[in-house]
Amino acid sequence: MENPTAAMLVIGDEILSGRTRDANMHHLARALTDHGIRLCEVRIVADVHAHIVEAVRALSDGYDHLFTSGGIGPTHDDITAEAVAEAMGAEIGIRDDARALLQAHYDRQGQVLNEARLRMARIPAGASLIDNPVSAAPGFSLRNVHVMAGVPTIFEAMLAGLLPTLTGGAPVLSQSLRIERGEGDIAASLGALAAAHPEVSIGSYPFQRDGVHGSNVVVRSQDGAAVDRVIGELSSLFPEAGR
């Protein structure tokens, strides 16, 4: 059976400007692979309402799941929840369940639930909340769209709670061989091997570092025995290669 598919949408001016380096994408990619959900596409857009709406529509239509990161805090540039609601045709307003979570959190901290913080209780109708064990303000799942925070510690905590609730498939297994030869030297053999073994996918990822160039050849499949078999053939073809 085919594994469920997924896309990610990162909302982040600060990544597009080069000020910060995205960390959530890499974390999500690894977690989904382990869970047997196939991440097929990632988009990064700026904090612009129309762009978020358009991307949410396209990606929630195109894949089984859409995970978003960023833009759900209390400041003026946090516009993800509204954009997701509009994209999905849902009403949005302050919800009592989210407000109660925030109220309890700020009471514990001796801080006031002011108007800005209350914005984080704006949750689309019909959405279920995603727990935020770090700072209380919840994410939410609206149909197949899972809206999470951009701060990596919070994103990871939210995902850890969410992922076990989603049906995954068999994890995709992979093994790789590091071959210190130019891709041009190994391409013909790799192409023939890939054609002979449609039950696996074979990728060649060249590197060039400290004067050494070569390629990491990665064999992937949900069928571990198939991966073993093809890696065995590869090792015979390139006996000098290292794991």
Restricted to residues 196-225, the positions that interact with a copy of itself (CB under 8 A) are 201-209, 213, 215, 218, 220
Q: How far apart are alpha carbons 13 and 9 in whole angstroms? A: 13
- Percent of residues in the chain assigned helix, strand, coil, to nearest 5: 40, 25, 30
Total residues at interface with a copy of itself (CB under 8 A): 74
What is the rounded CA–CA span in Å between residue 89 and residue 66? 16
Q: Confirm if 88 and 99 have CB atoms less than 8 A apart.
A: no
Are 124 and 133 spatial neighbours (Cβ–Cβ below 8 Å)?
no
What is the nearest approach in angstroms of a copy of itself to the Cβ of residue 81?
Answer: 15
Site string for a copy of itself, 92-131 (x = CB under 8 A): -------------------x--xxxx-xx-----------
- Which positions from 179 through 198 interact with a copy of itself, judged by CB under 8 A? 182-188, 190-191, 194-195
Provide the 3-class DSSP secondary structure of residue 115.
helix
User: Do the Cβ atoms of 182 and 214 come closer than 8 Å?
Assistant: yes
For a copy of itself, the closer CB: 110 or 126: 110
Select from 3, 4, 11, 15 the one that contacts a copy of itself (CB under 8 A).
Answer: 15
Query: Which residues in the 22-81 window bind a copy of itself by CB under 8 A?
Result: 22, 25-26, 28-33, 39-47, 51, 73-78
CB of 161 to a copy of itself, least distance (A): 17
